[in-house]
Copies of this chain bind each other. A is one copy, B any other.
Amino acid sequence: MARQLFELCGADPARLFSPYCWRTRMALAHKGLEHETLPWRFTEKDRIAFAGSDKVPVLVDGDRVVADSWAIAEYLEDTYPDAPSLFGGAGGRALCRFLGHWTDSVVQAGIVGFVVADIATHLGPEDHAYFIASREKRFGKPLAEVVAGREERVAEFRRALYPLRTTLKERPFLGGPAPTYADYTVFGAFQWARCVSNFTLLEPDDVVHAWRARMLDLFGGMAREVPAQEAA
């Protein structure tokens, strides 16, 4: 039975844009594990109910079903110990959780305020209606108002990347000389933006910009191949 991954997509099934699914896509490639993508849309919750989840990624690996990107990362590390390590030991595994929470609260929380309206433009009619309603409820205002002033606000976002930037001045990847799951975690946020928006998040002379390019080059340029809005 082929390894399958339910991944969020837009109206175009090739536009895979979930930051959490990208964490998993990169982790599978890191481990050298092939998978078949099962394109999934926001309103297809019934298709993943068997996994006890209403969100993707959901991995089906033979007779194992694993939902949630972090649970999948731990599953892959523990199930395929002879493949390259995602964490580089117990200490790295523990700190990858901190990186995940930092990414959620700083990187993704920043980016959503720039690109949430752009996301809607890539969705089919049913998902579009769901997305607009659920996000306007979450933000308490129209999405056009959420993203208003993004050209001014992006400077504060860039400043908040200080720990990432300073670490990347010292080494090519967060994980050291080679990427680990920490890199995939943060990269997922940038790849999410890249797939849905042409808003410029990073200045070209930022070491984070150069790191993102290195991440796009990994695994034969896998992340470059998805439809993207190139300026991000």
Contacts and interface: CB of A to CB of B under 8 A. Distances in A.
Interface of A: 85, 87-99, 101-102, 104-106, 162-164, 166-167, 170-171, 173-176, 180, 182
Contacts of A85: 91
Contact of A94 (B94, B162, B175): B175
Contact of A88 (B92, B97, B99, B174): B92
How many protomers of this protein does the assembly include? 2
B175 A101 contact: no
11 contacts: A87-B89, A88-B92, A89-B89, A91-B176, A92-B94, A94-B174, A94-B175, A94-B180, A95-B96, A98-B163, A101-B166
Given A91-B176, A92-B94, 5 more contacts: A88-B92, A90-B176, A91-B91, A95-B96, A97-B171
Contact of A167 (B87, B88, B93, B98): B98
Nearest to A89: B89
B92 A174 contact: no
Contacts of A88: 89-92, 94
Contacts of A102: 102, 163
A214 to B, nearest CB: 15
A101 B98 CA distance: 13
A144 B61 CA distance: 61
A91 B167 contact: no
B182 A95 contact: yes
A95 B90 CA distance: 12
Contacts of A89: 87-92
A211 to B, nearest CB: 13
